[in-house]
Amino acid sequence: MEITLFIFLAVQCCACSGWLVQVPSRLLNHRSPTSCSQKLIVQAFPNRGGGFPLMMQQVVFCGITCTDKRGSVSGSDIVSQQSGDKLGKTSTAIEVVNHYGVDLSGKTAVVTGGNSGIGLETCKALASRGCRIVMMSYPDEEAGCEAVREEIIVDGLGGYAVREPNVEVVAMDLGDLGSVSSAATKVLEVVRDIDFLVLNAGVAGVGRAETKQGFEMHIGVNHFGHFHFTDCLLPALRQQASPCRVVVVSSVAHASFGDIQLDDLHYTKGRPFPGQWGAYGQSKLANILFARELYRREQLDSSSKLSVLAVHPGVTWSKLWEDAPTRSVWTDLMARFVQDKASIPQAASSVLYACLAPAAPSPSEEGMYIVDCAVGKESEQARDMELAEQLWLETQKQIRQALQPGANAGPN
């Protein structure tokens, strides 16, 4: 029994990067902590009520004014990789962007779960090369602005600072389809093209719980929320002139205990609830199947410029462990023991690799799942194209039903 439990935890805790957590928040200080010559931008589009306390704003621009084409980067501990250096398991996010040496000025990245963990490091590394960042933040804009102030513009976990980032913050709750719809609308109001869409946010270890629409929490947030967000953005992505790279953060957990039963995705029709980590595994399998089917559908249109990759970032100590509702001394010990990434910047490296690798592998039999900055191999079920299509249709149907006026909570 002890051996079984060990394997269970070792695999299940892998890489639910960018877990949606409530960061302790304070009201935004309007003064830049860097120098008096820099000014913290706080602009917004007014909403119909609620939202960020400052001027009742919903979409908050909280980057530092940028006079150069690229964000100013500093940090004495950075060792830039040369183009011939090999990326791999121990690479960090900033090493990946330095490896490719790209100038991302004029590019835009939308990152879910961008205010913490791997999502935050992804935002920071892309911003270091001049990329404009739309940080999808939970639970509110304030948490995103705090993340900018406390990690991006200072020498944070990666040992470097981006002194002049171009960051906009949009609040989004993936557990509420209405919030997702509103957030997608705001994104399209503030950006023209999206070059990188990083679907990173997620939940794990929350026990048996439901989203606002009554979906099981893990698959409801990790899959249904991201599916709806992407679906809202797709018409614009298809019309834009520039290519878009979609990166879906999954987990190796999909292979060990991920299982999908289309007739009972939410464990409400007699299917036994497999425990919080089993439910998490199902959601991570759904992520890969979503990526595969999205790519297949886009390939039906010869003019499509979308490429799609799924990523397993690895295991590291993060908010996923710190704020897990089921956290215990045992899980703390297991987390330290099974982690294969020394830091969040290391865990974010494969996400950056998926964004920046010049030739994205196509989601063929073995080409669309990235592990340790290289092509990995997903499970057999994750390569089931028929299942991917069926899951897409079932997800689409359930979301449509949930958004109907007067719809009862819970999937039909």
Let me know: does 16 contact 320? Beta carbons within 8 Å.
yes
- Buried residues in 294-316 as b, exposed as e (16+ CB within 10 A): bbbbbeeeeeeebbbbbbbbbbb
The answer to whether 137 touches 114, Cβ cutoff 8 Å, is yes
Question: CA dihedral in degrees (273, 274, 276, 277; nearest 10)?
Answer: -160
Torsion of CA 297, 298, 303, 306, to 10 degrees: 180
352/314 Cα distance (integer angstroms): 13
**What letter does residue 162 receive in the DSSP assignment?**
E
Query: Catalytic: 100?
Result: no
Among 160, 280, 295, 369, which one carries the catalytic annotation? 280
Q: Residue 5 — φ and ψ, nearest 5°?
A: -65, -35
Of 125, 123, 174, the closest CA to residue 145 belongs to 123
Angle at 245 between CA 257 and CA 285, to 5 degrees: 10
Chain CA centroid to CA 1, Å: 34
Active site residues: 280
